[in-house]
Amino acid sequence: MTLIIRQHATACLLALTVAILFSLSTQWCVNAQDVRSNVTQLIQYWGYPVEQHDVTTPDGYILSVQRIPHGRFNRHGGSTPRKVVFLQHGFLDCSATWVNNLPYQSLGFILADAGYDVWLGNVRGNEYSNRNLYFPTQSKQFWELGIHLG
């Protein structure tokens, strides 16, 4: 009998612990209406500086790259050169993957706060790199590209 009571008490304690940890981790979550769909607006929402750069490849693709030049509080001074970190997302993704979570959970923000000059890349054809000088996105030629790893 005492073993059953002990097991129930342990299960209740575990459930309570999980509930507390979940509520603590989500208390700072943002209402979906507060977060913009654009990655630059998302970065600005959390108080970070952001720059948008367009890079044109030799075959005419226009790739958007976002830059977080420093952290929210710029503790390292504006004239101090920073080491550059380039973050490239995975397959079928975009640069927002590095800043989608809360600042202390997002690698892009963590690195910027640590003093790095963070650049977020995008591959051809994703939502931030779907332009070409010669072909519209609806054309077959636009999508005739390869993804090579070097």
Distance of CA 117 to the CA centre of its chain: 15
Q: What pLDDT is attached to residue 81?
A: 83
pLDDT, residue 125, reads 84
Residue spans per domain, the chain: 1-30, 39-143
In a 3-state reduction of DSSP, which class is residue 99? coil
Q: Decide: pTM greater than 0.85.
A: no
39-143 CATH pick, 1.10.3720.10, 3.40.50.1820, 3.40.640.10, 3.20.20.70: 3.40.50.1820
pLDDT of residue 7: 67
**CB atoms closer than 10 angstroms to residue 8:** 10
Mean pLDDT of the chain: 82
Q: What is the pLDDT of residue 63?
A: 94
The pLDDT, as a whole number, for residue 26 is 45
Residues of the chain with pLDDT under 70: 1-4, 6-37, 75-79, 148-150
3-state SS class at 117: strand
- The size of the chain, in residues, is 150
**pLDDT recorded at residue 20:** 57
The secondary structure of the chain in percent helix, strand, coil, rounded to multiples of 5, reads 35, 15, 50
Sign of CA dihedral 110, 113, 117, 120: positive
